Structures are given as C-alpha cells and as structure tokens.
Structure 1
Amino acid sequence: MAVEIRLSAAEVARVRFAVSPLAETVLGLRPALGVGGHDVHRAWVRGARSVLAREPELPLLRALLTGCLPSFLFPVPELRLPSFEAELAGLRATDPAYVAAECTAALGAARARRLPDAAELLGRVADALERLHGELVAPHWGRMRALLEADLGRRAVTLVDRGVEGLFAELHGDVVWREGELVVHGRRRTGSVWTVEAGGHGLALMPSVFGWPDVIVDHSPRAAASIRYPAAGVGLLWEEPRPSSAGLAAVLGRTRAELLAVLGEPLSTPQLAERLGVTPSAVSQHLGALRGAGLVATRRSGRNALHLRTAVGAVLVGEAGAVQPGAEG
C-alpha cells in the first residue's frame, strides 16, 4: 500500500528532523520478538532475546508489536534529540481514549478487547519499555546517537545544497516527492493508497537504526506527520572486528591515534581531514592501516563512505591512555 502525505507550502517550510530513543526501543523489540528485522541486527537480537524472555510483560508486548503498530507508541518528538526519560513521560501522559482507539485501529476490535483497560495497558507498557531500554538500548545509545546525528548532519547539508526536492529524492528509494505530495510506496506496491493530512503541523523526518531498511509512516498522526527512514551506516554499529597483530603495529603514531580518538562517531574522509588538519589522501592511507588492524570499519552509502571505530578500536582508545589526540609516537 502506498501512503500519500499532503503538504501545503507552509507545511513544507515546517519540515524538520528529530531522533527518538523511545521509537528505537519499540522498533528494536520487534526483531527480538521474531517479527521482521534484518540480518544487520543479528548480533544485537541474539542478546536481546534472552533479556526479553525474562520480561514479565512479554505477552502484552507481543500482542501489541507483532502486527500493525499502534501510533500511540510513536509520538513525534518536539525537540531534535529528546531524552528517553522525557519521551517516556510524554507516553505515560497519553490520553487513554487515544490509546484505546489506536489499539482497535491497529489490532482490530476483537484483539483489542482482549487487552487490559487502556489506562492500565499504558502504565504496564511504559514500565516495560523503561526496563528494556535500560538493558537493551541504553548500553549502545552513545554509538546509536552518534550515527543518527551524523545522518541528520548529512541530510541538513543536502537540504542546504539541493533544497526540499533534493532532500526527499535522496531519503529513500520508496519516497517520491510530487508537487505538494510526498508518496511513500509500500513494499508490496499494491494499488491502494492511504492519505495522510499533516493538519498544518508540518513533517518530521527521523532516521532510524532498528527501522532499517524500511520506511515507516504514521498513518494517523495527532500532530506533525512523520517518516522514519533508514539511517546511513547502520551496518557499522554491530561490526565485528578482525584484528591482526601485523595491523595493530601499524596504528602507532600520532595521526592514527587521533583518528581512533575522533572515530567514536561516523565521519567521512573529508571531515576527518578537516578535523586533523591533514590531507584527505593522508587520512585514506592511515584509515587503510587501521582497517587492516580491525580497529576501523568503513561502509559506503551512495557516494559517501563513513568510518567508525570497531569494538576493539574503542577498547584501545578507552584503556590505553597514550591513544589520545595529540599523543606522540
């Protein structure tokens, strides 16, 4: 099914970006429950399943998350990067009548009737998400946030260089901009179309780690319309390093140590060259040595290549005091 999001000229001017740690927690639970997901998250899912098996609200979460997703679980953040705690507080304050209506719309009346009272359901789900976020997402949130913010930076540059039309053209292959309408095609690409009105509130574009590789549209927004699209470089998050003793010897030296220190977030070769004050060709040479040592991973997204420390590289930076910007070697 295709989704059409109708935007007035004023609403196009209100296109903005945001990141949602609450949504990432909810979306991460689906592959952990065996619903959808992608092999790119396999390593994380393996660990998540054992934690989820101990969760007392597992039956309730399974009932809510194994089909069409209720919109009340995905409030659009008012800030670009809200805290999980702030989003959770907003979720707890949701009108129970809206929760009940969304459960019926997403699950069907028969399944929704088997759920707890909406107010009770909301409290139990919020408590479960708080527990699971702390165990499953919070330990990785630093890297996830860095990757998501790097994606926002890339989209912002595209918006400046190519305008709204260029931004949508680059967002995802399933997203098409037609004057005044944004069309998001469903995977099956049937003839049916669902129309979403932004209602004067604009559109929020949100990169997602666990939504990857799909585009997710809120069919019944309460405020701003929203599109959650796959963030660039997601495969780097769970990259398993392949260290070698010969490669590790090659990281000695100031420039390579500085590269390791700044690669706690995904960065391109030109960005690294600017930060370190060296030429892009020199950065490429040093990155080759670091990749050979299993300390840096590189992933291409279109014409861009993003580099990020692997787990071994992170340990080296965190535990070896000499590996800091400005270290001599």
Structure 2
Amino acid sequence: MLKYVLSDTDLGGVRFGISPLCELGLSLRAVRDPSQYPLQLPWLRRSEGARSRLDLDGLLALVDDRLWTPDFLNPRPASPLTRIDDEFAALERISAEQFHGDLIRVHGAVPAVFAGPARPAVRRMVRILQEFWDTCFAPHWLRMRTILEADIVYRGRQIAQGGLFTMLNDLSGAVEFDGRIISVRLKNPASRTEKTDGLGLTLVPTMFTRRASAPVNHGDPPMLMYPARGQGAMWEAEQVRNPAAVVALLGEVRTSLLTALAAPASSTELGVRFGVTTSAINQHLRVLRDAGLVTSTRYGRSVLYFRSELGAALLLG
C-alpha cells in the first residue's frame, strides 16, 4: 500500500500529464505477459513482426517477472504535451548512479545486457527504445494520445462538476481518497507513506496499467499512473456516416477517409481505424491529394494527412 499525504497546497496542485516514454516503458509489461493486457492484444499482434527484429534481450531486461519497470522509464511529465524526443534526450543524460540504481531496485542486480560501463549501456538502451518507438508506437501514437487526452478532459470535467474527491475516487478500484490521503493498492507488498510537501501530485493516464502504478523509489516526485478510459475503442474499425452525394462521387472508403481527416493522421493509423491495409490507404490518399482534397506534411518520421479547405467544402456540400 502506498499512501500520499497531500498538503493544503497539493490539494490545489493536482495536475495531469502524458509521457510517451512512460507509455513506452509500461508497454513492456504487455510484451512480457500478454495475458495481463487483453485490450492491447491487437497492438501486440500488429507489432509482433516488428518486435521480432528488435533487440528483445535489451527490451525485456527493462521489465521483471513482477512486471516492474525502472523509474527512469517513468519520468514525471510537466504537461500533457510532452514530446518523446525530449524524453529520449533526457534519458540519455541520466547518471550512472541512477541507471544502475533503478535497475537494481527492479531486478536486484544490473541485468547482464547492461553490465559494464554505464555510458555505453545507456546509449544501447536508448537506441533500443527508439527503435521500439519508431516501429511499434509511432504508427499508433496519435490515436493513443487522443485516448489519453480524452481521459484528461473527462477528469477535468469531473473536478468541475464533483470536485477533486469525486475524480480521485473514480480513477481506479485500487485508488481511494479520503480528502487528505490518497491510498493506492499496489502489487508491491511493502507499505510506505510519503508526504508530498508542496511538490504536487501528477496524474498520468496510461494504456498499460490495469489498476494503478507509482514510482518504485521512495522519495520520487509524487506521481500516479492510472488506466485511461476508452482503451477498448482503440482498435475498433471506425464506422463513419458519409454524405450520400460525396460517396457517389468518391466512393465509400475515400469519403470516410476525407471525413476522418478533420484531424491529422498517418496512413498506418487510418488503416488501423478502418480495418484496411496501409498500402490500400496510401493509394486512396494519393488520389485524394492529387485532387486537392487532402494535404500532407511530415511530422517526425511519419507523414500526416489533413483535409484541405477544398475537401472540407466538398463535405459541407
């Protein structure tokens, strides 16, 4: 049992954040034990081929049999807008003491794949995680982030309507709040009580926690990771009601794509949403772009598509 004792300042300083690195690290739990994460089985199936080409020894050395991960993979996000590149840069700068210490707290010893001098081991770890992100997360991250952001909006509405007490007691069955103390039932049998002492409490929605998670290290900045709402919709094929006249002109699939592209999305994400292969999506997007109905731009390593003004005008009829 973990208890966070909130000061008067902290009661007004509860904030939300999203950490791509935290999500990446926690996803190793599902890789290690898929049976514990049934809602993410579609992601595990889709990413299986890509994972087989990664350094799995290095990845799995970052999670143990209890499904604990080192705290350096769970940074406290400053906002819901945290970028993975910034988190990787910070991770690469961690001290040897933190790197070895966090691994030892999880495994009892530094795993063999990361033994030896810390700097080369840290560089190897960051490279492995970057490859994991690029191949298994980046194609789906915009939609994942949408679910995480939607959860934060919902929690904010709860605070506005029912107060902090209502919101905190609805996070998870493993979390209870009595107006001053947040009690979190964790897998760790050890109990500890920590005073937040004006540091505030950061709440982080995640797709890869079933009940609740918190930093392993005593004295780390107060942070609680809880299961995001709406995860079950992540992998459902999207059903869109389209204007009949536009369908007659473009066809059902292209009209659905044009409708969905009110928000930027990659071809991989659109394929997941509509249950269509990425290659087929790309063919349709090329036609829509050539017709001036969508535009494209590069975002990191992905190409994002967005409905143009002409496309929006066509849908409005």
Q: What's the TM-score once normalised by structure 2's chain length?
A: 0.74
Q: Does 1:327 align with 2:315?
A: yes
Question: What does the per-residue CA deviation read over 1:283-317, in whole Å, with 9 as the maximum and x for residues that have no partner?
Answer: xxxxxxxxxxxxxxxxxxxxxxxxxx6456x9699
| Deviation of 1:36 (Å) | 5.4
Question: What does the per-residue CA deviation read over 1:127-172, in whole Å, with 9 as the maximum and x for residues that have no partner?
Answer: 1111110111111111111111111111111112222111102211
| Secondary structure of residue in 1 paired with 2:223 | strand
**Alignment partners' CA distance in 2, 1:143 and 1:214:** 22
Compared with structure 1, are the counterparts of its residues 150 and 84 closer, same or farther at alpha carbon in structure 2 (3 Å cutoff)? Answer: same
Q: Does 1:195 align with 2:190?
A: no
- Counterpart residue number, 2:26: 27
| Secondary structure of residue in 2 paired with 1:64 | coil
- Counterpart residue number, 2:206: 208
Compared with structure 1, are the counterparts of its residues 8 and 131 closer, same or farther at alpha carbon in structure 2 (3 Å cutoff)? Answer: same
Aligned ranges for residues 1-329 of structure 1 at < 5 Å? 2-34=1-33, 37-56=36-55, 58-67=56-65, 68-109=68-109, 112=111, 115-117=114-116, 118-186=118-186, 192-209=190-207, 211-220=208-217, 223-240=220-237, 252=244, 260-261=259-260, 310-311=274-275, 321=293, 324=312, 327-328=315-316
Question: What does the per-residue CA deviation read over 1:34-63, in whole Å, with 9 as the maximum and x for residues that have no partner?
Answer: 35541211121013222222113x212212
Compared with structure 1, are the counterparts of its residues 113 and 8 closer, same or farther at alpha carbon in structure 2 (3 Å cutoff)? Answer: farther
| Deviation of 1:88 (Å) | 0.8
- Counterpart residue number, 1:284: none
Question: What does the per-residue CA deviation read over 1:55-96, in whole Å, with 9 as the maximum and x for residues that have no partner?
Answer: 13x212212213321111111112321110011111111122
| Secondary structure of residue in 2 paired with 1:327 | helix
Identity %: 25
* CA RMSD in angstroms, aligned pairs only: 3.5
| Deviation of 1:259 (Å) | 11
**Alignment partners' CA distance in 1, 2:72 and 2:35:** 20
Compared with structure 1, are the counterparts of its residues 130 and 113 closer, same or farther at alpha carbon in structure 2 (3 Å cutoff)? Answer: closer
CA contact (8 A) 2:214 2:224 kept: yes
Compared with structure 1, are the counterparts of its residues 120 and 327 closer, same or farther at alpha carbon in structure 2 (3 Å cutoff)? Answer: same
**Alignment partners' CA distance in 1, 2:87 and 2:98:** 17
**Alignment partners' CA distance in 2, 1:60 and 1:16:** 33
**Alignment partners' CA distance in 2, 1:45 and 1:12:** 38
Q: What's the TM-score once normalised by structure 1's chain length?
A: 0.72
CA contact (8 A) 2:25 2:69 kept: no
Structure 1 stretches lacking a partner, 5+ long: 266-308
CA contact (8 A) 2:91 2:126 kept: yes
Question: What does the per-residue CA deviation read over 1:203-251, in whole Å, with 9 as the maximum and x for residues that have no partner?
Answer: 1101112x1423111132665311111111111111146x7xxx97x75
**Alignment partners' CA distance in 1, 2:229 and 2:262:** 16
Displacement over 3 Å in runs of 4+ = 33-37, 111-115, 256-265, 309-312, 314-326
Question: What does the per-residue CA deviation read over 1:232-279, in whole Å, with 9 as the maximum and x for residues that have no partner?
Answer: 1111111146x7xxx97x75268x9799447869xxxxxxxxxxxxxx
Structure 2 stretches lacking a partner, 5+ long: 247-254, 265-272, 294-309
CA contact (8 A) 2:3 2:192 kept: yes
| Deviation of 1:20 (Å) | 0.8
- Residue type of the alignment partner of 2:91: L
| Deviation of 1:28 (Å) | 2.0
**Alignment partners' CA distance in 2, 1:186 and 1:121:** 30
Report the count of equivalent residues: 277
**Alignment partners' CA distance in 2, 1:138 and 1:258:** 20
